[in-house]
Amino acid sequence: MSLRGAGRSASIIACGLVLVSGWGSSATRAQGAIDVVWVSGPIYMFAGAGGNVTASIGSDGVLLVDSGEEAMSAAVLDAIRGVQRQLADAVRPTPRGGGAEGRSTVVEARSRLAPPKPVRYIINTSAAPEHTGGNQRLSTSGVTFTGGNVAGQLSDAGEGAAIYAHEQVMRRMVDLDLPFAMLPTSTYYQDHTKLSHFFNGEGIRMVHMPAARSDGDTIVQFTRSDVIATGDLFSQTGYPVIDLGAGGSIDGILEALNDILDMAIPEFRTEGGTMIVPGHGRLSDSADVGYYRDMLTIVRDNVRTMMDRGLTLAQVKAARPTRAYDRRFGSDSGPWTTDMFVEAVYRSLAGTP
């Protein structure tokens, strides 16, 4: 397992812990293993699990945004345990006392000599199998974090980690007749919701992006670490999947990307600042999302212009409205090809899913 700092310093400070030697950034990732990239604070990106998995790992346990493919769930668990071992071995600073600083140091105080805790939450950004396939294995490896008048361990009752998603994702997964243990245990229907409490020292927001990849997409914002996980609304490796049958649209994708840019705060000239974990590909920032948004806007406008001229779908495909970007994002094979993307844009604009 390798950890790459994405251009950051080799001395990594995460979740109040100074990570020293042992992260071998020059190590080669073994086939079938997970690439672990530290993002900010307690946030890590796991690449190689199918879709990217965003993990918050700290004294409160583990929260995952998406769970990767089913076949990679064991590797994701190994990656989580590897990070926890490194954090347990790291040098911990002595927590400061005082009043105003109390909230910002409570995580460090709780973390001292505390054993690693299990997966508490999984948030699904969509119903796509490369983002939900590990739900069952990963959720049953953990326990739900609770409080109030609940007594005892929920694990005693056979409960696993809580799985959050928008209610439309639940409906899609039920329609697919997936195993009960893969389904969300908690859903929301508003335009956004929040985790009810701080987790690993920060607030977590779930924001619904309607009619984008589908009608149930969620992006997740980690407010203290300043990280946004986008799911498949944004990808560094291909054109976005637009599931017209599930309520997706090209204009909804563009609106979602604009919302992500509104939420993100760049450090300087759209670079740095808020870190953005895409559904696939490398760690990104506002500049990457802006480029992706502009590219899709140009492609959409190319298709719309051709449609206004009366071109049929076959003629639009032959004209290659994505020509300028195919070397970067195009594909002639696999589950989502350039041809399929162009057809989805055409039918989205025509209103004929």
pLDDT, position 172: 94
pLDDT by position in tens, the chain (length 353): 444 444 443 333 333 333 322 333 323 344 358 999 999 999 999 999 999 999 999 999 999 999 999 999 999 999 999 999 999 887 555 544 444 444 444 445 444 445 678 999 999 999 999 999 999 999 998 755 444 444 444 344 446 899 999 999 999 999 999 999 999 999 999 999 999 999 999 999 999 999 999 999 999 999 999 999 999 999 999 999 999 999 999 999 999 999 999 999 999 988 899 999 999 999 999 999 999 999 999 999 999 999 999 999 999 999 999 999 999 999 999 999 999 999 999 999 999 77
SS3 assignment for the chain: CCECCCCCCCCEEECCEEECCCCCCCCCCCCCCCEEEEEECCEEEEECCCCCEEEEEECCEEEEECCCCHHHHHHHHHHHHHHHHHHHHCECCCCCCCCCCHHHHHHHHHHCCCCCCCEEEEECCCCCHHHHCCHHHHHHCCCCCCCCCCCCCHHHHCCCCEEEEEHHHHHHHHHCCCCHHHCCCEEECCCEEECCCCECCECEEEEEECCCCCCCEEEEEECCCCEEEEECCCCCCCCCCCCHHHCCCHHHHHHHHHHHHHHCCCCECCECCCEEEECCCCCECHHHHHHHHHHHHHHHHHHHHHHHCCCCHHHHHHHCCCHHHHHHHCCCCCCCCHHHHHHHHHHHHHCCC
Q: What pTM, to 2 d.p., does this model score? A: 0.83
CATH code of domain 1-204: 3.60.15
Domain boundaries, the chain: 1-204
